[in-house]
Amino acid sequence: MIDFKYLDKLISPNESKILMLVIDGLGGLPEKNTGKSELEVANIPNLDELAKRSFCGFSRPVFEGITPGSAPGHLGIFGYNPLKYIAGRGLLEASGIGIDLSPTQIAVRGNFCTFENGKVIDRRAGRISNQRCFDLVNKLNQISVVGIKIDVYPVESHRFVVVFDLDPNVIKKISNNYLNEIDCTDVFCSINTSEDQTFANLVNDFVEKSLEILSNEIDANGILLRGFSREVKLPDMGNRYQLNPIGISSYPMYIGLSKLLGMKSVSVGKSLEQLVSAVEENFNNHDFCFMHYKDTDTKGEDGDFEGKVNAIEAFDKFIPRILDLDYDVIVITGDHSTPAILVGHSWHSVPLLIFNKNIGGDQVKCFNEKEFSTGQLGHIDSFKIMMLALANSGKLKKFEF
């Protein structure tokens, strides 16, 4: 845990190396016809073999019954209790594309969506192309709202970032709680707070003008905003754990998260070949490596059971190359579950595997939810995973006075 009060006394740096493989949306649920989850259906001999040599169980991303977003889901994995440490989606997306917020700025993550008869019928506008996103963002940047400076940046596919730059006298009245209370689920923003409504009204002015300027678009004719956030400082992961960490991802948000936590960040293309090659290239220079794999979550959110199975099988093929690097400890888990049958994130616990090259594993036979229920790790809070990774790598001293 990043804020464990005895951490400074316990940390014992050494030469061992830790690899954190995050398979986004890893966990699944049984499909009705077969009664099996995506992991049970998948042909994953390499992950199955690794599970036999590892300690297995489940992580609880936030709290029982709570469905996590990607930001809290990842914060927990690195030892930051997501109920205590808050990093808004807007901040992470902005940081991931190279935008550092000033004290007067608020960032929000945006989706182009399909809006019909007053309702959102596709929250991702059919996952439009990057070029289309770029063109639509140019349209949004024509919008002017009195009392606020607005810049819109393309991220990828249907995603974009809006940065609102406010007068210092206005922004000092806006609390983090105020930003957390803004709800734009139904396109226009509402807020359940007694605080000044000025900012929410300005945002709604921008949204209204966005709908006007996008009205002739067939699919991407609306926008959804979420994750209003300002700059925030979190404990530096490298300093607290005395590690030299690196984060590798294909997606801006996870690059932003890596930066926020004090990791060196490397952005690569979307293929597993590019991701794993980056892990290989950086093996010698870092004692902690985080690699993020997105395809499993994307297929789960699309309700594509077979597609998620295929994404898991694709990941499995790279396990031999990863093992050849000879990491001392390998952790494989997800930031949350994304069961295809639910077409989105869920509150279910996430499969967790910890491989220690110097210690044999438990009695788990395969890499899936049913088998992991018999594993030695049981169910643990996600923010305790890092302590187990450090312990398995010999980086924690005995606790005594």
Instruction: Give 94-124 as a DSSP string.
Output: HHHTTPPPPTTEEEEEEEEEEEETTEEEETT
Query: Is the domain of 121 the same as that of 165?
Result: yes
Which residues lie closer than 8 Å to 275 by C-beta, 6 or more apart?
248, 249, 250, 268, 291, 292, 293
Which residues lie closer than 8 Å to 391 by C-beta, 6 or more apart?
none
Report the distance separating Cα 308 and Cα 318, nearest Å: 16
The whole-number pLDDT of residue 33 equals 87
Query: Bridge-partner residues for 167, per DSSP?
Result: none
Query: Is the domain of 79 the same as that of 120?
Result: no
What does DSSP say about strands 105-116 and 119-122: parallel, antiparallel, or unpaired?
A: antiparallel
The whole-number pLDDT of residue 144 equals 92
Report the distance separating Cα 213 and Cα 221, nearest Å: 8
The whole-number pLDDT of residue 229 equals 87
Domain coverage including residue 377: 7-84+235-392
Angle 325-328-331 from CA coordinates, rounded to 5°: 90
Query: Is the domain of 129 the same as that of 161?
Result: yes
CATH assignment of the domain containing 365: 3.40.720.10
The whole-number pLDDT of residue 138 equals 95
- Domain membership of residue 2 (yes or no) is no
Strands (E), 193-313: 222-229, 245-249, 264-267, 288-293
Query: Is the domain of 323 the same as that of 374?
Result: yes
Query: Is the domain of 338 the same as that of 376?
Result: yes
- Domain membership of residue 64 (yes or no) is yes
Regions of the chain where pLDDT drops below 50? none
Q: Which of 179, 157, 208 lies closest to 108 in space, CA to CA? A: 179
The whole-number pLDDT of residue 228 equals 87
Query: Is the domain of 241 the same as that of 275?
Result: yes
Query: Is the domain of 42 the same as that of 110?
Result: no
Q: Which of 314, 285, 353 lies closest to 58 in space, CA to CA? A: 353
The whole-number pLDDT of residue 254 equals 94
- Domain membership of residue 401 (yes or no) is no
Q: Classify the C-alpha dihedral 124-127-130-135 as positive or negative.
A: negative
Q: How many CA atoms lie within 13 A of 268 on its CB side?
A: 22
Residue 204: phi and psi, rounded to 5, are -65, -30
At 336, the amino acid letter reads H
Query: Is the domain of 240 the same as that of 387?
Result: yes
At 384, the amino acid letter reads K
Residue 288: phi and psi, rounded to 5, are -140, 125
- Domain membership of residue 188 (yes or no) is yes
The whole-number pLDDT of residue 181 equals 63
- Domain membership of residue 398 (yes or no) is no
Domain count, the chain: 2
| Residue with tokens 């930051």, as numbered in its chain | 80
Q: Which of 220, 211, 216 lies closest to 128 in space, CA to CA? A: 220
Whether the Cβ atoms of residue 24 and residue 335 lie closer than 8 Å to each other: yes
Q: What is the pTM of this model?
A: 0.88
Residue 266: phi and psi, rounded to 5, are -130, 120
| Residue with tokens 């949306």, as numbered in its chain | 25
Query: Is the domain of 67 the same as that of 117?
Result: no
Query: Is the domain of 106 the same as that of 172?
Result: yes
- Domain membership of residue 1 (yes or no) is no
Query: Is the domain of 246 the same as that of 388?
Result: yes
| Residue with tokens 């005895």, as numbered in its chain | 6
The whole-number pLDDT of residue 185 equals 61
The whole-number pLDDT of residue 50 equals 97
In the listed set 179, 206, 229, which residue is the last one of a domain according to the structure? 229
In the listed set 210, 229, 248, which residue is the last one of a domain according to the structure? 229
- Domain membership of residue 400 (yes or no) is no
Q: How many CA atoms lie within 13 A of 81 on its CB side?
A: 6
The whole-number pLDDT of residue 204 equals 86
- Domain membership of residue 327 (yes or no) is yes
| Residue with tokens 């209003």, as numbered in its chain | 228
| Residue with tokens 């395969």, as numbered in its chain | 366
The whole-number pLDDT of residue 35 equals 95
Query: Is the domain of 138 the same as that of 173?
Result: yes
The whole-number pLDDT of residue 338 equals 96
Crossing angle of helices 385-392 and 70-77, in 10° steps, is 30
In the listed set 191, 210, 229, which residue is the last one of a domain according to the structure? 229
**Residues 65-78 as b or e (16 or more Cβ within 10 Å = b):** eebbbbbbbbbbbb
